[in-house]
Structures are given as C-alpha cells and as structure tokens.
Amino acid sequence: MTIETDKNSSYAEPGIDGMVADWSADKQNFDLPWGKLMMWIFLLSDTFIFSVFLTGYMNVRLSQTDNWPNASEVFALEIGGVHLPLILIAIMTFALITSSGTMAMAVNYAYNRDKRKTVILMAITALLGASFVGMQVFEWSKLISEGVRPWGNPFGAAQFGSTFFMITGFHGLHVTAGVIYLTVIARRVGRGYYEDKGYAIVEITGLYWHFVDLVWVFIFAFFYLW
Amino acid sequence: MSETAGQQHPIGIYLKIWVLLFVLSTFSYLVDFFHLQGYLRWSLILIFMFLKAGFIVAIFMHVAWERLALKYVLFVPLSAIVVLITLMAIEGDYTFLTREIFFDP
C-alpha cells in the first residue's frame, strides 16, 4: 500500500521528511487509532521483558560449568514406536503459526465488515492458541514427572529447569491471556459492538497475537534448538 | 467510523507468508533433526529465526506499511537490548572462566 496523501491529514510526506513532519506536528505525532499506538507501546515494553528473560538465560547458560541438557532429547517423544526429537515443540510451532495466519485474515475480513468470517477466524485462532497451551501443559507435566524442577533436573545443569519454567511459563501466560482477549473481542464483534466504532480493535488484537507468535520464534530458536 | 482507514491488504499475501513461515519452521526443525552442529547449526538457526521474525513483524503486524515515525519508535529502543546482550555475554564468559579456575568440577 502506498502512503495516501490526504488533504484532511497533517501527514503529507513519506520517508525521513515525513518522519520529521510527524514528530514536529502540532496536534499529534502518530496517525493511528490511540488504542493501536498504546498496544504498540505495550508490545515494546513486553519485548524488553522477554529480551531480558532470554538474555538472563544466555548469561546463566554461558556461565554454568555443568553439562547443559540436550533439548533435542529432553523434548523427544515416541510416536508409534518411532523416536522423534523435539516433535511436540514442532507441532506447537506449527499450531501457533497457523493461528497467526488465521488472525491476519480475520483482521482483513473485519475491515471488510464481514462479521461472520471475522468471528469464525478469530474463534479458530483462539482454538489453536488453546491447543498450544494444552500441549504446553502436556510438555510441562511430562518434564515434571521426569524430575525436572526449577532448582535441578536429572539431565544436567540446574539452570535448565529454572529458565525453562520461567520463559515458557511466561510465554504460556501470554498465550492464555491472548485466548481470553480473542474470545472477548470475537464475541463483541459477533454482537455488532464495533459497527459504529470501526474495526481497528481486531487489528489491535491481532498485533498482540502476532507478538505472542513472534516471541515463540525466538524461544524456539534459542531455548529448544540452540 | 474511525477517522483513519486501517491496514487492508489482499488475503493472498497472508497465505503466501503463512506458507513461507511453515517452510522456514520446517527448515529450522530439520536443523535439529539432522543433528547439524557448530557454527553451521547456530548460523542456520539464526537465519531462519530472523527471517521468520521479519516476516511476522513486516507483513502480519503490518510494520512494512507503517510510517517511519512509528518504525523508529519500535526499533530504536531495541538497540538498548543489543547493548545488554553484549554486556551479559562478556559477563557470562567472565563468570565461566572464574568458576573454571576456582571450582573443581
């Protein structure tokens, strides 16, 4: 989409000149619904939280002198007698990516004012998110039954358990909150609550949901694959 | 009606990105499946991670179409995280070395 120059808008220029104009504007700096800007600010702060968690994980993993457990084997499963490394994590990754795809389409249908498709796609998104949390519960119970604790585990370095529970737990909390958020907004969309207000709220919800997916990309890379 | 039009793009682009994310996730899973090790493993993990993150942020979160003023708000603060990572990597390395010297394994 090219940037439209609107006569009623104070935003005329793209690029660096446009940025200078935006920042020196008299009335407002961002041509966004306020809720969307606030969601971005929140997500930026959340980025810092997860970055600090992952940096802390990096720090303890670098400085420990024990053996770091091999995540590939710790999270392996036997399915039909076949030993598959990391398979549950891969399925969780695909579930979350799919939910991001359905969310992106829900935003599109919302702006087209197709309430039915929006609600259906948001419901699918929430269901995939709930299944993600379900798989995480399974993963946690399996590890706990194998003796993994925040203060130690049978596979190696004790820091493995503490960082695992902290990072995936905080992410799972975000997914759970997202499922609730999606359900509430989808219900309101279905009731026609946003017919007059406009459907920016679906895009805002989408931002949060994509962010949860984004964080998982980093957790998957640094915690499970590294 | 809100006064500003929201982000609207063809469904097709979302489906393409979705497929792309699937493929990239499969690749990063295969890195582990084929037991690649060392710098090859780490660089592949990082490449696939940044590609996935980039597509999610740019297309799904519509940052590619946002104005520069917002992009800078989102990306300039992240430089503080880069500084933190660098410092903590140095510190972690130092702690490891002192532990190697002073603790018997």
CA distances from A133 to A21, A177, B102 (A): 44, 11, 43
Residue B75 and residue B49 share a domain: no
pLDDT score for A12: 56
Residue B40 and residue B84 share a domain: no
pLDDT score for B2: 42
Residue B57 and residue B7 share a domain: yes
Question: Mean of the per-residue pLDDT values for chain B?
Answer: 89
Q: Model ipTM?
A: 0.91
Residue B88 and residue B37 share a domain: no
Q: Determine the residue of chain A that is closest to B62 in CA distance.
A: A207
Helix (H, G, I), strand (E, B) or coil at A225: helix
Contact in structure between A11 and B69 (CB atoms under 8 Å): no
Residue B62 and residue B88 share a domain: no
Closest CA to A214 of A180, A158, A175, A179: A175
Q: Determine the residue of chain B that is closest to A202 in CA distance.
A: B6
Residue B103 and residue B83 share a domain: yes
List the single best residue of B88, B101, B103 to mutate versus A (max A Cβ within 10 A): B88
pLDDT digits (tens, 9 = 90+) for A205-226: 999 999 999 999 999 999 999 8
Helix (H, G, I), strand (E, B) or coil at A158: coil
pLDDT score for B50: 96
Range of the domain at B42: 1-66
Residue B11 and residue B55 share a domain: yes
Using an 8 Å CB-CB cutoff, list chain A residues near B90: none
Q: Tell whether A24 is within 8 A of chain B (Cβ).
A: no
Res. B69 pLDDT band, cuts 50 70 90 = confident
Residue B89 and residue B51 share a domain: no
Residue pointed to by tokens 């699918």: A124
Q: Mean pLDDT, consecutive 10-residue segments, chain A of 226 residues?
A: 48 75 83 91 96 96 90 85 87 95 94 94 97 96 93 91 95 97 96 91 96 96 92
Tell me how many residue pairs between chain A and chain B have CB atoms under 8 A apart: 174
pLDDT score for A162: 94
**Contact B8/A196, CB-based, under 8 Å?**
no
* DSSP secondary structure, A38-84, as one string: HHHHHHHHHHHHHHHHHHHHHHHHHH--SPPP-HHHHT-EEETTEEE
Residue B80 and residue B39 share a domain: no
pLDDT digits (tens, 9 = 90+) for B15-52: 999 999 999 999 999 998 888 888 999 999 999 999 99
Out of B1, B67, B77, name the one closest to residue A18 (CB): B67
Residue B87 and residue B40 share a domain: no
* Percentage, residues of chain B above pLDDT 90: 69
pLDDT score for A1: 45
pLDDT score for B5: 59
Exposure string over A138-149, b if 16+ CB within 10 A, otherwise e: ebbeebeeeebe
**Contact A30/B85, CB-based, under 8 Å?**
no
Who contacts A176 (Cβ-Cβ below 8 Å, separation ≥6)? A133
Residue B75 and residue B59 share a domain: no
**Domain locations in chain A as residue ranges:** 1-31, 33-225
**Total structural domains in chain B?**
2
- Domain at A33-225, CATH homologous superfamily: Cytochrome c oxidase, subunit III, four-helix bundle (1.20.120.80)
List the single best residue of B68, B86, B93, B95 to mutate versus A (max A Cβ within 10 A): B68
Residue B72 and residue B57 share a domain: no
Cα A125 from chain centroid? 12
